[in-house]
């Protein structure tokens, strides 16, 4: 198939975490003024890219596409189908690291292929706070590089970040003027996603009011920090679409910041980590000890490393439970859930942790 090169903005969104949410936020802003083409859900492989190439029409003012990478060379091959002239790399974490030999260096090299094979004179947006993103190899790209961050470094930086009812509020400066924003989803990691959307839309000439409107009504992706309330004011947070160490730690942060008691964390296996699997699960175990978590439940053979590491580093053993049997997990959960509780459930898609969400909501599993 001949590569599709378009003169209109073709925005590729890639990265180890946050790409679907970032894509949806960008698209929501652009739709305030433009007719656009957007890749659905997380349709981000080469087969989907060929379908996108067939479906983009002349009346679309822009295309916003998620570029996925489950192995080395995938981003290069997708750029050969549709070449983006604007690209976002949200961050370079440990998602799919097992597919590139468990090597962070090789993962960085694989992610670099988006910059290397997009339009050389295009615009690339990176995370200034992400150490691995600073190691990306950009040549032969020679276009404009812009960055976002929350640590005071970057072309677009967020400050005054706070949890508010139903989402996050923050401030940022655009063309020298301070503006306040709200996004209807929790988590500091989602502030980064919003900053990317603001940066891309500002680059394309959208107004601040259009940005605010788009962010307020963006479509929240399925099974990504979706909050359900059940009887007795129990909150169930469904973040079960996928999991890697970075996204799990971000979810733990959300749980620790929200109001509710007890705070119950339910984690399944993290997949596609390869030889990084043990280290990655242990990393999560150490991290959650530093956050306000009252009960820990782990499910699946690999997830045991989370529980044992957490207990080793000070998490109360009497409040940590592990099992590989889903019915047993559900029975144990019922013993600690009380009125006012908040339960966050997360795990890789193949662990089917959404079944536990359905159980807690009283739905069929």
Counting runs of H as helices and runs of E as strands, what totals does the chain give?
Answer: 11, 15
pLDDT digits (tens, 9 = 90+) for 320-343: 999 999 999 999 999 999 999 999
Q: How confident is the model at residue 106 (pLDDT cuts 50, 70, 90)?
A: confident
- CA-CA distance, 191 to 149, in Å (whole number)? 9
pLDDT at 96 over 60: no
pLDDT at 23 over 70: yes
pLDDT for residue 98: 65
pLDDT at 293 over 80: yes
Specify the DSSP class assigned to residue 31: T
pLDDT at 97 over 80: no
C-beta of residue 270 within 8 angstroms of C-beta of residue 281: yes
Q: How confident is the model at residue 176 (pLDDT cuts 50, 70, 90)?
A: very high
Task: Take residue 152 and report the two structure tokens written for it.
Answer: 């005071």
Specify the DSSP class assigned to residue 204: T
C-beta of residue 250 within 8 angstroms of C-beta of residue 189: yes
Please state which CATH class domain 226-360 belongs to.
Answer: alpha beta
Q: How confident is the model at residue 1 (pLDDT cuts 50, 70, 90)?
A: low
pLDDT for residue 232: 86
Mean pLDDT value across residues 121-147: 96
pLDDT at 71 over 80: no
For 211-235, give the DSSP string.
HHHHHHT--PPTTSSEEEEEGGGEE
pLDDT at 95 over 70: no
- Which of 228-232, 267-271, 282-286, 306-310 comes out lowest in average pLDDT? 228-232
- From the options 3.60.120.10, 3.40.50.2000, 3.40.1500.10, 3.40.1190.10, give the CATH code of 10-216: 3.40.1190.10
- CA-CA distance, 331 to 269, in Å (whole number)? 19
**Integer angstrom CA distances of residue 18 from 41, 42, 305, 306, 341:** 13, 11, 25, 23, 27
Of all residues in the chain, the percent with pLDDT exceeding 70 is 97
Strand ranges across the sheet with 226-230: 226-230, 234-239, 342-346, 263-268, 295-299, 320-323
- Which of 177-181, 220-224, 304-308 comes out lowest in average pLDDT? 220-224
C-beta of residue 298 within 8 angstroms of C-beta of residue 322: yes
Rounded to the nearest integer, the mean pLDDT of the chain is 93
pLDDT for residue 100: 65
Q: Can you give the residue ranges of every domain in the chain?
A: 10-216, 226-360
pLDDT for residue 70: 73
Strands 320-323 and 295-299: parallel
- CA-CA distance, 272 to 350, in Å (whole number)? 10
Q: How confident is the model at residue 99 (pLDDT cuts 50, 70, 90)?
A: low
pLDDT for residue 11: 98
pLDDT digits (tens, 9 = 90+) for 187-226: 999 999 999 999 999 999 999 999 999 999 998 888 999 9
Task: Take residue 231 and report the two structure tokens written for it.
Answer: 């009887």
pLDDT at 243 over 80: yes
Of all residues in the chain, the percent with pLDDT exceeding 90 is 84
C-beta of residue 196 within 8 angstroms of C-beta of residue 148: yes
Q: How confident is the model at residue 101 (pLDDT cuts 50, 70, 90)?
A: low
Q: How many residues does the chain have?
A: 365
């Amino acid at each position: 198939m001949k590569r599709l090169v378009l003169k209109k903005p073709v925005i590729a969104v890639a990265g180890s975490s946050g790409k679907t949410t970032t894509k949806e936020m960008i698209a929501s802003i652009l739709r305030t003024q433009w007719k656009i083409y957007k890749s659905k859900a997380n349709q981000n492989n080469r087969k989907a890219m060929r379908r996108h190439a067939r479906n983009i029409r002349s009346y679309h003012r822009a295309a916003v596409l998620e570029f996925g990478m489950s192995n080395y060379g995938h981003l290069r091959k997708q750029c050969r189908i549709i070449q983006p002239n604007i690209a976002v790399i949200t961050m370079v974490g440990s998602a799919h690291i097992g597919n590139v030999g468990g090597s962070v260096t090789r993962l960085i090299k694989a992610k670099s292929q988006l910059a290397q094979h997009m339009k050389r004179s295009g615009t690339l947006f990176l995370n200034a706070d992400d150490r691995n993103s600073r190691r990306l190899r950009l040549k032969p790209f020679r276009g404009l590089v812009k960055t976002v961050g929350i640590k005071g470094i970057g072309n677009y930086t967020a400050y005054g970040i706070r949890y508010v009812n139903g989402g996050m509020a923050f401030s940022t400066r655009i063309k020298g003027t301070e503006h306040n924003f709200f996004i209807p989803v929790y988590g500091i990691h989602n502030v980064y996603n919003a900053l990317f959307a603001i940066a891309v839309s500002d680059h394309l000439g959208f107004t601040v009011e259009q940005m605010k409107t788009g962010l307020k009504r963006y479509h929240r992706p399925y099974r990504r920090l979706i909050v359900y309330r059940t009887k007795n004011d129990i909150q169930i947070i469904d973040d079960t679409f996928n999991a890697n160490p970075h996204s799990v730690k971000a979810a733990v942060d959300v749980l620790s910041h929200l109001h509710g008691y007890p705070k119950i964390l339910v984690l399944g296996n993290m997949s596609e980590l390869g030889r990084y699997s043990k280290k990655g699960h242990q990393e999560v175990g150490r991290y959650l000890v530093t956050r306000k978590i009252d009960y820990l439940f782990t499910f699946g053979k690999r997830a045991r490393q989370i529980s044992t590491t957490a207990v080793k580093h000070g998490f109360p053993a009497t409040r940590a439970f592990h099992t590989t049997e889903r019915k047993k997990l559900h029975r144990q959960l019922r013993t600690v859930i009380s009125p006012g509780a908040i339960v966050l459930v997360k795990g890789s898609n193949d662990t089917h942790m959404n079944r536990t969400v359905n159980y807690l909501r009283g739905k069929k599993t």
